[in-house]
Amino acid sequence: MADIDACGDTTAPLLAIVGPTATGKTDVSVIAAQKLGAEIISADSMLVYRHMDIGTAKPAAGERGGVAHHMIDVVDPDDEYNVAIYSKQAEGIMTDIVKRGKLPLLVGGTGLYVKAVVDGYSFSEAGIDPGLRQRLQKECEAMGKEALHKRLGQVDPESASRLHVNDVKRVIRALEVYYLTGQTISATSGRRDQERKGLHIFGLVMDRRELYARIEKRVDRMIEHGLVDEVRRLLEKGYSEKLTSMQGLGYKEIILYLRGIISLEEAADLLKKRTRNFAKRQLTWFRRDHRIRWIDVNDRRPADIAVEITAEVEGVFKPASNELK
């Protein structure tokens, strides 16, 4: 059994539930956490932002089932934030959870955030060159993001295959690291020497047609619940539409509507299409990790899925405090 009395090593326990958006990770994880006495660490790159609730499908207090949730509402939309900051903060939280005799439960669909915690990446300390970054941004505007992504593919194929052509900020960062260090961003990142022995990771998956139907219902529900007003309030507070946070799914599409560029119906359809494509990319990312134990969630209740997960890990993780009784 993996004792919950150590941290910072590869035997420290970690349960993870991952998968594409709209597969029901929130409901399943809350029930599993209640059964296991776990605390949830969000691995979602959008849930970190305050004031962004509807478009991120952030679980409300009443949906958290009394379970402690971490890495939600930690920064404002205009704060600088990235996976390196997330990794450091999440590791600190996980260490604290383990010290208190609890089980950390990592939940989310941002593959890079999950990998940062699961595989213990320490990210490059390569400096920042504002001039170089500005020059790359101007080249992107002049030649197009496809040309910039193609250039990255020539010097760093691994990062190019991982980063979407629209993820201009990270494409520029990868090129910046290469030009500053002569090495790829992958080569300048460290990784834990040993595999994490205390890891159990489950992935939720469902029939594609059912997933797409869920995505469409979710988008309709977001708009009904006030997504347009949420985006309008953010803009009125002075948050620029160019911010990384405001370029997230659900926000950039509604901004197009608020700017009068497209209708609300067109914005909703565009959001549905982009979310479907995002779900495909999420699944492709997670399919690469052969440690994931996949669970088909078609026509199944969250409670039943949670029971399946907890049945596999109950008895594996034994709180250190229990040994003292």
What is residue 12's predicted lDDT score, i.e. its pLDDT?
A: 76
DSSP 23: S
User: In angstroms, what is the C-alpha Rg of the chain?
Assistant: 20
Per-residue model confidence as pLDDT tens digits over 5-55: 334 455 678 999 999 999 999 999 999 999 999 999 999 999 999 999 999
Phi and psi based region of residue 7 (left: phi greater than 0; alpha: psi -120 to 50; beta: remaining): beta
Residue 26: the pLDDT is 97
3-state secondary structure of 252: helix
User: Sorting pLDDT into bands at 50, 70 and 90, what band is 178?
Assistant: confident
Confidence of residue 81 (pLDDT cuts 50, 70, 90): confident
Quick one: CA dihedral 59, 61, 62, 68, positive or negative?
A: positive
Transcribe 55-69 into DSSP letters. TTTPPPGGGTTT--E
**Cα separation of 17 and 180, whole Å?**
37
Q: Which among 320, 292, 270, 265 has a CA at the least distance from the CA of 23?
A: 292
The angle formed by the CA atoms of residues 175, 152 and 180, to the nearest 5 degrees, is: 20
Distance CA 245, CA 232 (A): 14
**Residue 208's closest CA among 29, 21, 58?**
21
**Structural domains in the chain plus CATH codes:** 2-123+191-324 (3.40.50.300), 130-181 (1.10.20.140)
Q: What percent of the chain has pLDDT over 70?
A: 87
Contacts of 299 (CB under 8 A, 6+ apart): none
- Most confident region among 81-95, 172-186, 289-303 by mean pLDDT: 289-303
- 151 closest CA partner among 54, 143, 226, 295: 143
Please report the pLDDT score of residue 2 as a whole number.
46
**Contact 218/198 with Cβ under 8 angstroms?**
no
The arithmetic mean of pLDDT across residues 95-107, rounded, is 95
Taking only the tens place, the pLDDT of each residue in 247-273 is 999 999 999 999 999 999 999 999 999
pLDDT for residue 100 is more than 80:
yes
Instruction: Report CA torsion sign: 64, 275, 295, 314.
Output: negative
Per-residue model confidence (pLDDT) at position 323: 37
Report in angstroms the alpha-carbon separations of 255 from 23, 34, 77, 258, 317. 26, 38, 15, 5, 46
